[in-house]
Amino acid sequence: LDQVTGLEAWKYDNTSPYYGYEFLAQRLTRLKRFQHTNQQQDLAQYLREGLSFDLANISYPLLYAHTFVGTKKLIEDYIQAVCDGFAYIASDAFTAFDLQQKIEYFNAAIQAYGQPVLMFSGGATLGLFHSGVCKALLEQDLMPKVFSGSSAGALMAGMVATRTNVELLELLNGDGFYEHAFKFRSITKIIRDRSGIADIQVLKNFLRENLGEYTFAEAFAKSGRHVSVVVAPYQAAYRPRIMNEIMSPDLLLWSATLASCAVPYLFPPVKLTSKRCDGVYTPYMANTRWVDGSVRSDFPQEKMARLYNINYSIASQVNPHIVPFMQNDIVRYRRDLLSWPTRLIRHQTKNITLDVLDLARHHLHQIPFVQRIIDHGYGIVGQRYYVQNYLNYCNEKESKPFGRKFPELKHMRESVRRLNIVCKY
C-alpha cells in the first residue's frame, strides 16, 4: 500500500523535524564499524550508552502515522543494527565476556531499557475482545511479560497468568473454557439479602474452574508472566490497589479476580482468600470487603511502572463509553495554529469537569451510592485515552440492536475466531 500510494519515498528521506536524524546516522555508522572490525568491548559499551527506546526521539508518534507500515528507513536500520549487536554479544563468537558477564550485561540492559505492559480494561462480555488481542500477539511472538486487568479484564489477565503458551492457545481456540458465569437471583432473594441482583457463587465457580487454585506467586512460577489485578475496598474513601506476586504473593488469583468483577449493586462486595504454604486457605485482610477496581482505576500505569520498570503501556480498551474521550496521534500531537483552539477547549473542559466532580465528591461523600457514581465519572474523565491508527477496522455488517452486539460466553469459540480476525487485520 505504501508503494501504491507513493508513501514509500517518505521512508527513504531521512530528514524530519521530529527526530535527530544526523545523530542517529552517526550512531548507526559507528555500530556497524565496531561489529565489522570486531571491536567487541567498544561495541558492548556503545550499545549500553545508547540503550533508550526514545533515543533521538525515534519513538515520536507522528513518525509512525505517515505511512501504513513502518517509519523512516534510517530508524528501522538503526533498530536492526542494535538487535544484531546484542545478538552478536550473546553468541559464542563474542569472547570479550564470559557467560556470567554476559548474563549480568543483559540483566543490566533490560533494567535500563524497561519493558511494555498490556492492560485489559473492564467491559462485561465485551471483555471477550481481549482474547482476540492475546491470540494475535501470541501467534506473532509479541506477547509482553507484564499484564494488568480490571473487572472483565482481570479474567483475561488471570487466564494469561495461569497458563503456558501452549495451554493459552488451546484456551483461546475455545477449548476447555467453562462458560457458566452469570445467573440472576430471584426477586425474593434480592429483597431479603440486599446483596446484589446476580449470584456471586455462580461467578465464583466460573472463576475457579477457569483459573484454578493458583496464588499469584504460583501462577508466576508456572507461566513467568507478571499479572496485576485491580481491586478497590468497598469503602469509597479508600484508594484502589493492585494485587500481584510482589504485593500479595499468597493471595488466590481467582479470589482477586472475583473482587475485581464484583460490580457494586450487581454483585455484593467480597472478602479475599489467601493460601498458606501448607495449602490451608485463610482470609486476606479479613476485616475488608472488596469491589470492582475499574470504577476508580481501570489502568494503573503509575503503580505498574514503579513495580515493573514499565516504559510503554498498551491498553486493550473495550468500553464504548470512552470513545468521546479518545484521541489519535495526529490529533494529539498537532501543533499548527488551527489546532490550538480545540486543544484549549478540550483541556479546559476536562479540568473544569474534574474540579466539579472533585467538589461534588467532597460534599457528597456521605452518600455511598452517589460517591461511587462520582468516582466512576472521575475515573473516566481523568483517564488518558490514546488510540493508534490501524490499517483496517472490521465490523459486522448486519444491523443489530446495540444490546445484541455484546458477545456471549456460550459462543466463545466463534467470538474468539471473529475477534482474532479483527486483530490480525
Answer for the pair 376, 357: CB distance below 8 angstroms, yes or no.
no
Q: What are phi and psi of 146, to 5 degrees?
A: -125, 135
Answer for the pair 300, 230: CB distance below 8 angstroms, yes or no.
yes
Residue 405 to residues 398, 399, 402: CA-CA distances in angstroms? 10, 9, 5
Q: How far apart are CA 314 and CA 116, in angstroms?
A: 7
Cβ-based neighbours of 396, under 8 Å, separated by 6 or more:
405
Find the length of the chain: 425
Q: How far apart are CA 263 and CA 251, in angstroms?
A: 20
Mean pLDDT check: name the lowest of 10-14, 184-188, 235-239.
235-239
3-state secondary structure 366-379: CCHHHHHHHHHHHH
The type of residue at 284 is Y
Question: What percent of the chain shows pLDDT beyond 70?
Answer: 80
The CATH number corresponding to 115-319 among 3.40.190.10, 3.40.1090.10, 3.30.230.10, 3.30.1330.10 equals 3.40.1090.10
Beta bridge partners of 283: 273
The type of residue at 168 is L
pTM: 0.77
pLDDT digits (tens, 9 = 90+) for 153-167: 999 999 999 999 999
Mean pLDDT check: name the lowest of 110-114, 336-340, 420-424.
420-424
pLDDT, average across residues 404-422: 51
pLDDT, average across residues 194-213: 88
All cell numbers assigned to 164: 503456558
DSSP state, residue 95: -
pLDDT, average across residues 117-132: 85
Alpha helices in 17-128 (DSSP H): 21-36, 40-49, 73-90, 99-113
Beta bridge partners of 231: 241, 292
pLDDT digits (tens, 9 = 90+) for 257-269: 999 998 887 888 8
Q: How far apart are CA 374 and CA 381, in angstroms?
A: 11
Catalytic residues: 151, 292
Beta bridge partners of 272: 284
Task: Tell me the residue ranges of DSSP E strands in 87-196.
Answer: 115-120, 146-150
Mean pLDDT check: name the lowest of 5-9, 44-48, 83-87, 404-408.
404-408
Closest CA to 70 of 17, 8, 159, 136: 8
User: Exposure of 254 by Cβ count < 10 A (0-12 exposed, 13-18 middle, 19+ buried)?
Assistant: buried
- pLDDT for 52 beyond 90: no
- CB environment 122-147: b (16+ within 10 A), e (fewer): bbbbbbbbbbbbbbbbeeeeebbebb
- pLDDT for 418 beyond 80: no
pLDDT digits (tens, 9 = 90+) for 142-155: 999 999 998 889 99
pLDDT of 325 reads: 65
**pLDDT-derived band of residue 388, with 50, 70 and 90 as boundaries?**
very low
- CB environment 224-249: b (16+ within 10 A), e (fewer): ebbbbbbbbbbebeeebbbbbbeebb
Residue 351 to residues 3, 62, 325, 348, 358: CA-CA distances in angstroms? 44, 26, 13, 5, 10
Average pLDDT, the chain: 82
- pLDDT for 90 beyond 70: yes
Q: So where are the chain's domains?
A: 8-113, 115-319, 321-402
Higher pLDDT residue, 166 or 354? Answer: 166
Q: What are phi and psi of 242, to 5 degrees?
A: -115, 135
Q: How far apart are CA 425 and CA 422, in angstroms?
A: 5
Answer for the pair 370, 89: CB distance below 8 angstroms, yes or no.
no
